[in-house]
Structure 1
Amino acid sequence: MKTAKQYLASDFEAVGEIIKENLDPNEILVNSKSYELFKSGGKKIRPTFTLLVGRLGDPEKYQDVLKASASLELIHMATLVHDDIIDNSRLRRGRSTVYYEHGYLQAINTGNYLLSTSLSIVSTIKHKALHEAFSKAIRDIVDGEIFQLDHQFDTHQTLDDYYTKIYRKTALLIELSIKMGAYASNVEQRILDALLIYGYHIGMSFQIIDDCLDFIGSEKSLGKPKFSDLQNGHYTLPVLMLRDESQNFSRKLNAFDGSREQLDELIEDILASDAIDRSIAISNVYIDKARSAIADIDEPIRGYLMEIAEKLSNRLN
């Protein structure tokens, strides 16, 4: 059996052509930097879901699926550019960020250009429910960015706050990816309902694993410096779990002023605890629920969705 990447190889070529045509790389810096971001790689998880789900619907509608896939990749890229501004990040996917290399205004313009290009592509798809889902998700993504910024360095945020953040940051876009593929190709509602349960749980697991990798992954695989979430005041599941059970750690977290010495102490405490292992266990519960949700999805799509779930759960190995 082919891998999902092999199965969708020609589709991704078509998506790439749509993005290239619409970004129109030229001498204008914003256009060129936007296209460089696309070429730099990434997992392309979101368009993968759109393309796979689109295969379950009407083959004659597949050109719209390709457009939806392209628009989602551009939205994801826009959120990364804006995240780099919020986090003052120097690196993204092993390269200098637009923000670090060209400054605040160019980074804002690049993110906005990616977003507007995404909107331009999706506007050519004629499907009311697709446009309603797309516009609502855009608003929710922006709300999520604001919510994350409001909780930066917030030592009193709850676990529910954390789950809200990661839903808006990751699971929401995966749900949207599934909806876009389903609406664009007229997938049956009962199938879409099952896929959305899968997408929610995959998204939550994906972000929890990402948050654990910030402590135990390699900078090469992360594409950004290790410990950047903690350093930038984005307190993730391992941090919050340890905060709630250790008064000593909680005091250190409350006193954290961004210094390297204090950061190193916090990191040492987290790595010496079982907070990361327990966070991984929670991620695995989400993965199991995702697997269960797609029991009745037709092959080979079910197999490829299961493949993605396995790869996500094995990223720590």
Structure 2
Amino acid sequence: MKTVKQYLASDFEAVTGLIKEHLDPNEVLVNEKSYELFIAGGKKIRPTFTLLVGKLGEDDKFPDVLRASASLELIHMSSLVHDDIIDNSELRRGKSTVYYEHGYLQAVNTGNYLLSTSLSLVSTIEHHGLHESFSKAIREIIDGELFQLDHQFNAHQTMDDYYRKIYRKTALLIELSIKMGAYASNVDQKTLAVLLDYGYHIGMSFQIVDDCLDFIGNEETLGKPKFSDLENGHYTLPVLILRDEDPDFRRQLESFDGGKAQLDGLIDALLHSDAIDQAIAVSNSHIRKALEAIEGIEEPIRAYLQEIAEKLSNRLN
């Protein structure tokens, strides 16, 4: 059996062509930086879901699925550019961020350009539910970025705050990717509901793993410096778990203002605790629920959704 990458190879060629067509560099810097972001790569996980789900629907609607897939990759890229502004990040996928290299205004314009290009790609798809879901998701993603900004260095945020944050940051876009593929190809509502359950759990697991990799991954894989979430005051699941278990760590976190000595102390405490293992267990629970949700999905799509889930869960190994 082919891998999911092999199965979708020709479809991704078409998606890449659409994106290149809409981001073709010219003399305007924002176009050039947007194109470079796309070429730099990434997991392309969101358009993968759109393409797979689209294959469960009507064949003659697949050109719309391709446009929806390209649009999802662009909106994801836009969110990364804006994240780099919030986090004051120097590197993204091993290269200088637009924000670091060209400043605040250029980064904002690049993110907005990617977002507007994404909107242009889906504007010709005739499905009210698709456009309604798309616009609502964009609003929620922006709300999530503002929510994340408001909670920087907030040692008293709740676990619910964290889960709301990662839902908007990651799971929401995966759910949207599934909806876009389903709506563009007229997948039935019962199948869509099952797939959305899968997408929610995959998205939550994906972000929790990313949050753990910030402590135990390598920078080449991460595409950004290690410990950057903690350094920037974004308290992820391992941090919140240890905060609730260790009064000394909680006091350190409450006084943390981004200083190097304080940061080193927090990292040392985390790496010598089992908080990361506990967070990984939560991620694995989401993977199990995702796999249970798709038991009735037809082959080979079910097998490819399983493959994705297993690959995501193995990123820590």
Question: Which category of TM-score, normalised to the shorter sequence, fits these structures?
Answer: over 0.9
CA–CA separation in structure 2 for the residues paired with 1:61 and 1:3: 24
The answer as to whether partners of 2:153 and 2:257 remain within 8 angstroms in 1 is: no
Q: In the alignment, is residue 19 of structure 1 matched against residue 25 of structure 2?
A: no
- CA deviation vs aligned residue, 1:221-252 (integer Å, no higher than 9, x gap): 00000000000000000000100111100011
CA–CA separation in structure 2 for the residues paired with 1:309 and 1:55: 18
Cα deviation for residue 10 of structure 1 reads 0.7
CA–CA separation in structure 2 for the residues paired with 1:210 and 1:22: 30
Cα deviation for residue 22 of structure 1 reads 1.0
Equivalent residue number for residue 170 of structure 2 = 170
- CA deviation vs aligned residue, 1:53-98 (integer Å, no higher than 9, x gap): 0000001000000000000000000000000000000000000000
Q: In the alignment, is residue 307 of structure 1 matched against residue 307 of structure 2?
A: yes
Equivalent residue number for residue 29 of structure 1 = 29
Equivalent residue number for residue 114 of structure 2 = 114
- What is the TM-score of this pair, normalised by structure 1? 0.99
Q: In the alignment, is residue 234 of structure 1 matched against residue 234 of structure 2?
A: yes
Q: What is the identity, as a one-letter code, of the residue corresponding to 2:47?
A: P
Equivalent residue number for residue 75 of structure 1 = 75
CA–CA separation in structure 2 for the residues paired with 1:216 and 1:27: 41
Name the Cα RMSD after superposition: 0.5
- What is the TM-score of this pair, normalised by structure 2? 0.99
Q: In the alignment, is residue 137 of structure 1 matched against residue 156 of structure 2?
A: no
- Structure 2 portions without partners, runs of 5+: none
Specify the SS of the correspondent of 1:225.
coil
CA–CA separation in structure 2 for the residues paired with 1:298 and 1:35: 36
- CA deviation vs aligned residue, 1:187-227 (integer Å, no higher than 9, x gap): 01111010000000000000000000000000000000000
Q: What is the identity, as a one-letter code, of the residue corresponding to 2:287?
A: I
Cα deviation for residue 24 of structure 1 reads 2.2
- CA deviation vs aligned residue, 1:156-188 (integer Å, no higher than 9, x gap): 000000000000000000000000000000001
Cα deviation for residue 258 of structure 1 reads 1.0
Q: What is the identity, as a one-letter code, of the residue corresponding to 1:64?
A: D
Equivalent residue number for residue 265 of structure 1 = 265
Structure 1 ranges of 4+ moved more than 6 A: none
Q: What is the identity, as a one-letter code, of the residue corresponding to 2:233?
A: G
CA–CA separation in structure 1 for the residues paired with 2:184 and 2:64: 6
Q: What is the identity, as a one-letter code, of the residue corresponding to 1:281?
A: A
Name the % identity: 77
Describe how 1:210-221 pairs up with structure 2 within 5 A: 210-221=210-221
Equivalent residue number for residue 244 of structure 2 = 244
Specify the SS of the correspondent of 2:315.
coil
Equivalent residue number for residue 205 of structure 2 = 205
Q: What is the identity, as a one-letter code, of the residue corresponding to 1:254?
A: E
Specify the SS of the correspondent of 1:215.
helix
CA–CA separation in structure 2 for the residues paired with 1:299 and 1:198: 16
Equivalent residue number for residue 224 of structure 2 = 224
CA–CA separation in structure 2 for the residues paired with 1:189 and 1:135: 20
CA–CA separation in structure 1 for the residues paired with 2:225 and 2:24: 31
Q: In the alignment, is residue 147 of structure 1 matched against residue 147 of structure 2?
A: yes
Equivalent residue number for residue 87 of structure 2 = 87
Q: In the alignment, is residue 185 of structure 1 matched against residue 185 of structure 2?
A: yes
Equivalent residue number for residue 103 of structure 1 = 103
CA–CA separation in structure 1 for the residues paired with 2:161 and 2:257: 22
- CA deviation vs aligned residue, 1:291-313 (integer Å, no higher than 9, x gap): 00000000000000000000000
Tell me the number of residue pairs that the alignment of Structure 1 and Structure 2 aligns.
317
Describe how 1:51-70 pairs up with structure 2 within 5 A: 51-70=51-70
CA–CA separation in structure 1 for the residues paired with 2:187 and 2:46: 17
Specify the SS of the correspondent of 1:234.
coil
Equivalent residue number for residue 277 of structure 1 = 277
CA–CA separation in structure 1 for the residues paired with 2:24 and 2:273: 50
CA–CA separation in structure 2 for the residues paired with 1:188 and 1:235: 39
CA–CA separation in structure 2 for the residues paired with 1:147 and 1:252: 23
CA–CA separation in structure 1 for the residues paired with 2:256 and 2:84: 22
CA–CA separation in structure 2 for the residues paired with 1:25 and 1:62: 27
CA–CA separation in structure 1 for the residues paired with 2:84 and 2:240: 23
